[in-house]
Amino acid sequence: MSHPLADSVKVLAFDVFGTVVDWRSSVIAEGEQLGTTKTLKVDWAAFADAWRAVYHPSLNRVRKGDLPWTKLDCLHRKSLEEILEKFQIAGLSEEEKDRLNRVWHRLNPWPD
């Protein structure tokens, strides 16, 4: 026997970011891997936090109309450029920057 409201449900949606995936450890691990490859000495935890901290201000620029509708990948990339400069990380190729930027597509799930 189903619940009386079950037939009226059309969509079941939930936010997986932070609930299902561990964004912070994923970004740190990606940075550490890049750091090893490029011999970079970076506090990758601080880097991950700084990159995430500019997410809402960046998105708010779109919400307020200061920027036109922009894909999140593009917003992340603009933010990445700022954070790379802030952390004095230079010498990355465009391919390396693109790969780092796409870390948001490869977030690891929480182990539980």
Each domain of the chain, given as residue ranges in start order, spans: 19-105
Q: Which tokens sit at 105?
A: 């597509």
- Give residue 19's pLDDT: 85
Query: What percent of the chain clears pLDDT 90, i.e. is strictly above it?
Result: 79
User: What percent of the chain is modeled with pLDDT above 70?
Assistant: 99
The pLDDT, as a whole number, for residue 57 is 96
Residue 90 neighbours by CB under 8 Å, 6+ apart: 84
Paired with 17 in beta bridges are: 21
pLDDT of the residue at 1? 62
Residue 5 is classified by DSSP as T
- Measured in degrees and rounded to the nearest 5, phi and psi for residue 21 equal -110, 150
Segment 14-68, tens digit of pLDDT:
777 778 999 999 999 999 999 999 999 999 999 999 999 999 999 999 999 999 9
CA separation for the pair 26, 5 (Å, rounded):
39
Share the mean pLDDT of the chain.
93
CATH of domain 19-105: 1.10.150.240
Across 88-94, average pLDDT: 96
Q: What is the pLDDT of residues 68-79, one digit of tens each?
A: 999 999 999 999
- Extract the tokens encoding 56: 């809402």
**What is the model's pTM?**
0.84
| 51 close to 34: Cβ distance less than 8 angstroms | no
Tell me, what's the pLDDT at 3?
A: 82
